[in-house]
DNA sequence: GCCAACGTTGGC
DNA sequence: GCCAACGTTGGC
């Protein structure tokens, strides 16, 4: 692929432990760094899925920490395998099991993502929001380097305009800005948002003190075993995000279902090809 | 195929 | 833990 084709994305994961159907869906930048390559399973939102289908090998990914104390961009990754059926939808023991999905008609897809680097300076959502809010004026001195255009680009990010989408497009400009911010930092003394950002210059480590869910020891972070590995992309079902589908949100599990979440599950290095 | 009700996401 | 935003369901 040529660099003009390169696309940029943002993908969310939860860095804090949270147990769904007996499994921990935690996937922090630490986990990602250790795993190196991971199948991005569990996306159960049509729009997010469709975006994943557009991804090409080599596309760049902003790795985002979601649903945690300090949400924000924690690292960088790239697409290392293009969309193929998400086999976790067929695994009844899996948090993302979808009984409505048949093997011959996969509904959900995933890509493989390969870790590239941590953000040298964790880029907090609160900062991005702050930038978006003040995009009419000049950037604060601390981050003057992003320029007024940079502010506008941030303001246009789906992350800011519609928080809930777990896979998002990122403009090339935004990619550059976030990358630069990650390298340069500079906002440590600024106050913005209701929460102050961490004053640490290092990206936050995965926080595991969340008492509401303990780390599940059965999550195979180390064993590298693969699931059924049933991942060959058979055909292109070209599913469209029509709403007419009768898909119940509650037929997997009484109340614990999380499958529309961006959550990733445990580390699982999977290397096929 | 519209749209109100419902359920979930996810920041705070 | 609260609750606003918003995606999905499912009746009509």
Straight-line distance from CA A237 to C1' B11, in Å? 35
The pLDDT value recorded for residue A3 is 62
The pLDDT value recorded for residue A122 is 97
pLDDT(A219) > 50: no
**Cβ atoms of A113 and A78 closer than 8 Å:** yes
> According to the per-residue pLDDT averaged within each range, which of A33-47, A94-108, A222-236, A247-261 is highest?
A33-47
Straight-line distance from CA A28 to C1' C3, in Å? 26
Give the angle A49-A51-A56 at the CA atoms, nearest 5°. 115
- A1-273 has which CATH code? 3.10.590.10
Residues lying close to strand B (Cβ under 7 A), chosen from 108-147 of chain A, are 125-126, 129
Provide, rounded to the nearest whole percent, the portion of chain A with pLDDT above 70.
Answer: 69
C1'-nearest nucleotide to the CA of A260: B8
As a whole number of angstroms, the distance between CA A55 and CA A169 comes to 10
Straight-line distance from CA A74 to C1' B7, in Å? 29
Residues 6+ apart with CB under 8 A from A152: A135
As a whole number of angstroms, the distance between CA A178 and CA A2 comes to 22
Using the C1' atom of nucleotide B7, identify the protein residue whose alpha carbon is closest: A249
pLDDT band at A261 (very low <50, low <70, confident <90, very high): very low
Taking alpha carbons only, the member of A66, A46, A96 closest to residue A268 is A96
Alpha-helical regions (H) of chain A = 29-35, 46-53, 125-133, 147-155, 158-161, 172-184
A217 touches strand C (CB under 7 A): no
C1'-nearest nucleotide to the CA of A161: C5
Residue A70 neighbours by CB distance under 10 Å: 19
Average pLDDT, chain A: 76
As a whole number of angstroms, the distance between CA A67 and CA A54 comes to 26
pLDDT band at A145 (very low <50, low <70, confident <90, very high): very high
pLDDT band at A169 (very low <50, low <70, confident <90, very high): very high
Going from N- to C-terminal start, the domains of chain A cover 1-273
pLDDT(A149) > 90: yes
The pLDDT value recorded for residue A2 is 65
Beta bridge partners of A115: A77
Number of residues assigned to chain A: 273
Residues 6+ apart with CB under 8 A from A194: A126
A258 touches strand B (CB under 7 A): yes
DSSP structure class, residue A77: E
Give the angle A267-A65-A204 at the CA atoms, nearest 5°. 90
**Cβ atoms of A86 and A167 closer than 8 Å:** no
**3-state SS assignment for residue A271:** coil
As a whole number of angstroms, the distance between CA A232 and CA A61 comes to 23
Q: In whole angstroms, what separates CA A67 from the centre of its chain?
A: 11
The mean pLDDT of A232-242, rounded to a whole number, is: 34
C1'-nearest nucleotide to the CA of A250: B7
């Amino acid at each position: 692929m040529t660099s003009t084709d390169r696309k940029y994305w943002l993908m969310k994961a939860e860095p804090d432990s949270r147990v769904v159907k007996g499994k921990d869906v935690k996937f922090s930048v630490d986990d990602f760094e250790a795993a190196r390559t991971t199948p991005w399973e569990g996306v159960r939102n049509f729009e997010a899925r469709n975006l994943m289908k557009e991804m090409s090998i080599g596309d760049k990914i902003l790795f985002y920490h979601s649903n945690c104390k300090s949400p924000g961009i924690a690292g960088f990754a790239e697409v290392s395998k293009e969309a193929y059926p998400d086999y976790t939808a067929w695994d009844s023991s899996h948090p993302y099991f979808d009984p409505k999905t048949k093997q011959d008609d996969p509904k959900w897809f995933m890509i493989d993502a390969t870790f590239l680097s941590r953000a040298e300076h964790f880029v907090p959502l609160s900062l991005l929001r702050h930038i978006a809010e003040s995009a009419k004026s000049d950037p604060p001195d601390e981050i003057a380097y992003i320029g007024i255009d940079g502010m506008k680009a941030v303001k246009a990010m789906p992350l800011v305009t519609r928080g809930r989408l777990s896979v998002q497009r990122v403009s090339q400009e935004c990619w550059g800005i976030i990358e630069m911010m990650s390298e340069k930092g500079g906002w440590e003394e600024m106050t913005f948002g209701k929460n102050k950002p961490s004053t640490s210059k290092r990206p936050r480590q995965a926080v595991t003190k969340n008492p509401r869910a303990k780390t599940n020891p059965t999550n195979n972070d180390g064993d590298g075993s693969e699931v059924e590995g049933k991942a060959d992309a058979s055909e292109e079902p070209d599913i469209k995000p029509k709403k007419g589908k009768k898909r119940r949100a509650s037929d997997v599990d009484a109340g614990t279902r999380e499958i529309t979440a961006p959550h990733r599950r445990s580390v699982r290095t999977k290397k096929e090809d």
